[in-house]
């Protein structure tokens, strides 16, 4: 990716460096077809780097590389939905218990919008109840994590590739916080070292073909940017009579 495009996307120099190292490492491991910013076929996510290795002595394989330069970015995508769902149920139950008692102690909060008082809606935010405020805040944070921050888990669940790698700077390598099943490549002195091997995930031949097609699309998009070929030019050529 050229510097101008990266700047428009708000990408940092550290993130670009990690992607470059991932591309170098992948090709050194026999992944001859590689591209950055690849939209994946089986889910809504985009991979920082995706790579394909044709069949040979090491076998056909597809790989996804996710580059994380700061701890907050790593944690944001590493939510375990099962544990979070369990905690969500507990916190939601606590919310219901609190609301039941608050309705008794603060009857004036009832909106009177139901035939039956027990089903009246109520606005509990106005009383500034510390315990209730804390529960609601945690509930919102859990829902946000579950529905938006499970990228690592989703990529494996949908078998978007055969292997998955996290690419991290050395100071970010904290084994307990890293997602299970992912390989870990750590930057040290300008190159990557494999600190944890990934778990292999089988995939169907048609899924690997779609993966390779997405690689080609991303590569063509990048080449168009390099050669300054606008989308409008392609559209106009398409509409010209043959």
Render pLDDT for 86-108 as a digit per residue (tens, 0 to 9). 776 787 788 778 877 777 767 66
Output the pLDDT for position 119.
Answer: 42
Render pLDDT for 13-72 as a digit per residue (tens, 0 to 9). 999 999 999 999 999 999 999 999 999 987 888 999 999 999 777 789 999 999 998 876
Q: pLDDT-derived band of residue 229, with 50, 70 and 90 as boundaries?
A: very high
Output the pLDDT for position 81.
Answer: 58
Q: Which two tokens stand for residue 183?
A: 């390989």
Contact 39, 214 (CB under 8 A): yes
% of the chain with per-residue pLDDT over 90: 42
Output the pLDDT for position 216.
Answer: 95
DSSP label at residue 4: H
- Return the axis-axis angle of helices 81-105 and 130-148, rounded to nearest 10°: 150
Output the pLDDT for position 2.
Answer: 44
- What's the burial of 210, exposed, middle or buried (CB within 10 Å: 0-12/13-18/19+)? middle
The yes-or-no verdict on residue 84 having pLDDT over 50 is yes
Render pLDDT for 135-148 as a digit per residue (tens, 0 to 9). 878 776 655 555 45
Output the pLDDT for position 115.
Answer: 41
**C-alpha R_g of the chain:** 24
Least confident of 149-153, 204-208, 237-241: 149-153
36 has which bridge partners? 49
Alpha helices in the chain (DSSP H): 3-8, 13-28, 71-76, 81-105, 130-148, 151-157, 205-226, 231-239
pTM: 0.68
Q: Report the pLDDT averaged over residues 210-219.
A: 95
Q: pLDDT-derived band of residue 191, with 50, 70 and 90 as boundaries?
A: very high
Contact 183, 174 (CB under 8 A): no
More confident residue, 80 or 241: 241
DSSP assignment of 107-157: GGGB---SSSGGG--B--GGGT-HHHHHHHHHHHHHHHHHHHS-HHHHHHH
């Amino acid at each position: 990716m050229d510097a101008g495009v990266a700047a428009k996307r708000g990408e940092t120099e550290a993130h670009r460096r990690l992607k470059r190292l991932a591309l170098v490492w992948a090709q050194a491991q026999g992944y001859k077809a590689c591209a950055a910013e690849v939209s994946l076929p089986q889910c809504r996510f985009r991979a920082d780097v995706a790579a394909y290795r044709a069949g040979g002595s090491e076998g056909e394989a597809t790989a996804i590389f996710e580059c994380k330069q700061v701890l907050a970015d790593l944690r944001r995508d590493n939510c375990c939905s099962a544990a979070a769902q369990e905690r969500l149920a507990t916190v939601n139950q606590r919310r219901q218990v609190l609301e039941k008692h608050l309705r008794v102690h603060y009857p004036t909060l009832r909106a009177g919008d139901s035939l039956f008082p027990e089903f009246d809606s109520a606005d509990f935010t106005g009383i500034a109840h510390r315990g209730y405020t804390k529960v609601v805040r945690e509930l919102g944070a859990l829902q946000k994590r579950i529905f938006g921050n499970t990228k690592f888990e989703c990529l494996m669940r949908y078998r978007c590739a055969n292997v998955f790698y996290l690419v991290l700077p050395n100071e970010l390598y904290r084994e307990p916080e890293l997602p299970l099943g992912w390989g870990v490549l750590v930057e040290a002195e300008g190159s990557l070292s494999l600190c944890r091997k990934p778990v292999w995930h089988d995939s169907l031949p048609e899924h690997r073909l779609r993966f390779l097609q997405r690689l080609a699309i991303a590569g063509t998009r990048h080449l168009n940017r390099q050669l300054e070929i606008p989308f409008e030019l392609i559209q106009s050529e398409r509409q010209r009579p043959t």
